[in-house]
Amino acid sequence: MKKRYNAEKVVPYNDSEAKTKQVKTMFDSIAHSYDKLNITLSFGIDRLWRRKALASLKRFAPKSILDVATGTGDLAILAYKKLSPDKITGIDLSEGMLEIGRDKVKAENLQDKITLECQDCLNLDFEDNTFDAITVGFGVRNFENISKGYDEMYRVLKPGGVLMVLELSTPEKFPMNVLYNFYSSTIIPTIGKLVSNDTKAYSYLNQSIKAVPQGEEMASIFKKSGFREVSFKRYTFGICTNYMGIK
């Protein structure tokens, strides 16, 4: 198992502030361009990844879902359409992202079904055993303490509940690994700088993908927090990975 760099030490701006604070600042800064850049940088494939990941939750038929690092709410909205739960709560550090997400929820007329709140995933404001399922879309690499984040999500899941984490990863096989390394290290930061006013945010994106635990290493963090039946499935030559575990 290849050991990654410590993702918790990879920060957007400097070494003097906590990662959580810097991530909040970064996403507030790029909120206005985030959705457009996501589609551009992934060629729209991120939508397919979300659909595939949510399809893996259908057999659990969750009625209450927590969407951690919900951002602008795309995964939460799609989860409601695909899974038809009674209620979805999305949380995120960035009010800038959440404001855009709330507009999307309103446009879909889902205000009674989806609630978006500003919360830190390392200190969730929910009681134990609250949710049937928890989803995280492309957010774990931004956690200041990954293990604590998983511990908190385990705490608020009901027994038998499922955690689904969708996260970017790095391909391991040639030639995709070489092509992806060039794209992520050169193209992504360049396009990010052209579209966003935050010149460091998309350099951080590349660094955080390389540093985040992947494959068996990520699965082991699930297990240390108490999850069982842990599994993972790679999408699109390993560019994205879907991890799952049961409480």
CATH code, domain with 49: 3.40.50.150
Contact 152, 127 (CB under 8 A): no
101 domain-assigned: yes
Number of domains in the chain: 1
In a domain, 86, yes or no: yes
126 inside domain? yes
Q: Which residues constitute the domain of residue 22? A: 7-246
Q: In this structure, is residue 1 part of a structural domain?
A: no
Quote the CA–CA distance of 231 and 229 in Å, as a whole number: 6
Which pLDDT value is given to residue 203?
Answer: 78
Mean pLDDT, rounded, of the chain: 91
In a domain? residue 127: yes
Task: Output the pLDDT for position 177.
Answer: 84
**Confidence band (pLDDT; 50, 70, 90) for 3?**
very low
pLDDT in tens, 191-210: 766 766 666 777 787 788 88
Q: Are 139 and 90 in contact (CB under 8 A)?
A: no
Residue 95 within a domain: yes
The model's pTM is 0.93
CB neighbour class for 175 (10 Å; exposed up to 12, middle 13-18, buried from 19): exposed
What's the mean pLDDT in 9-35?
A: 89
Residue 2 lies in a domain: no
Pairing of strands 157-168, 240-246: antiparallel
